[in-house]
Structure 1
Amino acid sequence: MTDAFPAAPPLALVIFDCDGVLIDSEPISLATLTRGLNGIGLAIDIDAVRERFAGTSMTSIMERVAREDGITAPDGFVERVKAETLAAFEAELTAMAGIAEAVGLLHLPFCVASSSDPVRLRRSLGLTGLLPLFEGRVFSSAQVARGKPFPDLFLFAAERMGIAPANCLVIEDSVPGVQAARAAGMRVVGFTGGGHWSHDRAGRDLLAAGAATVFSAHADLGRIVAGD
C-alpha cells in the first residue's frame, strides 16, 4: 500500500502510452493532421485539433470528423497523413528527456499501449532508440475492437502481460487515455512534459478526467511508481 494509492493492490505492471509520454511526437503529428484536415475542407487550427483528437486513433478521428463535421475523407487520406507524419518523424522526432534512464530503473514489468498503428509505433520507438527497452511488449489499438477512451487496449495489454487490471499503473498524457485507464479499473497518472500541452491546462484536464496525480519530468517516475 502507498500514500498515493491508498488501499490499492500492489503494483505489478506499468503501462506507458507512447505519443506524448515516451516520445515528443504530438507537436509533429498534430501539425500534420491539422494540415491534412484543412486540405479536405475542415476549418480547424492545431489547438482545436489537440483538444478534440489528442490521444485517439486515426480511425476514431475520421469517424468523428464524418459524424460531427459532415466531412468524409477521400480515399487514401489516412494513409497519406500517416506517411507524412512518419516522414516528419524521421527528421524531427525525439524521445522524452530522461525516459530511457527512468525506465531502466523500474523494478516492475512494463509495456507500451498506444493508439498509434503498429507501423508508426515501432518506427517511432526505433527512431528514438527506445524499441529495445520494450521489444515484445508493444501493444497497439489496432489489436482491439475499440480504441481509447474505451478500456479495450489497456485490458488487452494487461492480459498479454499476465497481470490483473487492479495491479496496473498507466502513464498517460491525454484525457481519452486517462478515461480508458479508469474504465479498465487501473490506476493512472498524468504526464504533462510533452511539447503539445500548456502544462497547467494539461494537469487540470488530466486530474479532472481521473488521474491520481500529474508529473512533468521522467526523473520523477520512480517516485510516482513508488507512490511517494
Structure 2
Amino acid sequence: MVKCIIFDCDGVLVDTEKIGNGVLLQMASEHGFKMEIEDAYHYFNGVSLKNCFLQIEAAIGKKLPEDFEENYRERSFEAFKKEAKPMDGIFDFLNKLTIPYCTASSGPLEKIRLNLGLAGLLDKFEGRIFSSYIIKSWKPDPEIFLHAANEMGFEVKDCIVIEDSVAGVRAGLKGGFKVYGFANGFNNTDLEEEGAELFGSYEELSKKLDL
C-alpha cells in the first residue's frame, strides 16, 4: 500500500529537460563540446550541474570559464520563463491523490520553485519541496529521497519514487524505494535496465497505482 509519493521535478512535474539541456549544449558548443540532445538525456539528466560540467571539461580537455555556471543559470532561467510547462496529465493525477506527496530534486531550491511556479504547480507542493543543495547530497546518492521520506513522516517501504533519469532511478533503488520511471522516448531502455517500472503517461500511472 503506497502511503506517500516522492516526485522528481524536471521532466516529471515540469517539462523542462529539453530546455535545460538545449541551453547547456548550446553554451558548451561555444567551447568545442559536441553532443546530441538525445545523449544529453542519458548523461546529464538527474545529476548535479557540477557533474555535467566535469563531463564537458573532460571531453574538451580544458576548464570551462569561471562564470559559465552563472551564465547558464541566467540563460536557462530565461528560457524556462518562456517555455516551461506542466507535464501532460499531472494536474489530473495530483487531483486524484488522497495520499501525501512531495518533490525531491537535485536542482537548487530557487530553480525548483521557479519551474513549479511557471507550471502552475507551486501551490500544490508548497512546504514539501526538497533540494539536494540544502542537504549537500546529489543523485545517484539516495540521501535526497531518504530525507524527503523522513521529512514527510514515512518509512521507505511506504513510499514510491517517480523519476525520469538514470541517476534518479539509481538513487531511489539504492535507498530501497520502489521506483516508477517516466518513459519519454529517449530514456526507456536506460530506466528499464536500471530496474524502474516504466510508465508513459500519468493516465497509465494512475492505472498502475489503482487511483
Identity of aligned residues (%): 36
Q: Residue 67 of structure 1: CA displacement?
A: 4.9
Structure 2 match to 1:3: none
Q: SS in structure 1 opposite 2:102?
A: strand
- Are residues 70 and 150 of structure 1, via their aligned partners in 2, closer, same or farther at CA, if it must alter by over 3 Å? farther
Q: Is the 8 A contact 2:106 2:139 kept in 1?
A: yes
CA deviations 1:190-212 (Å, max 9, x no partner) are 112xxxx4x2x52222111011x
Structure 2 match to 1:93: 84
1:63 aligns with 2:47: no
CA–CA separation in structure 1 for the residues paired with 2:155 and 2:169: 18
Q: Residue 220 of structure 1: CA displacement?
A: 2.6
- Calculate the aligned-residue CA RMSD, in Å: 1.7
2:187 to 181, 202, 223: 202
> Within 5 A, what are the aligned runs for 1:180-195?
180-192=171-183
Residue range with higher mean Cα deviation, 136-145 or 121-130: 136-145
> Within 5 A, what are the aligned runs for 1:208-227?
208-211=193-196, 213-226=197-210
Q: TM-score, normalised by structure 2?
A: 0.93
- Gaps (5+ residues) in structure 2? none
Q: SS in structure 2 opposite 1:94?
A: coil
Q: Hey, which bits of structure 1, 4+ residues long, moved more than 6 A?
A: none
Structure 2 match to 1:148: 139
Q: Residue 68 of structure 1: CA displacement?
A: 5.8
- Are residues 68 and 166 of structure 1, via their aligned partners in 2, closer, same or farther at CA, if it must alter by over 3 Å? farther
Residues paired across the two proteins, number: 211
CA–CA separation in structure 2 for the residues paired with 1:79 and 1:224: 41
Q: Residue 69 of structure 1: CA displacement?
A: 5.0
- Gaps (5+ residues) in structure 1? 1-9
Q: TM-score, normalised by structure 1?
A: 0.86
Q: Is the 8 A contact 2:41 2:187 kept in 1?
A: no
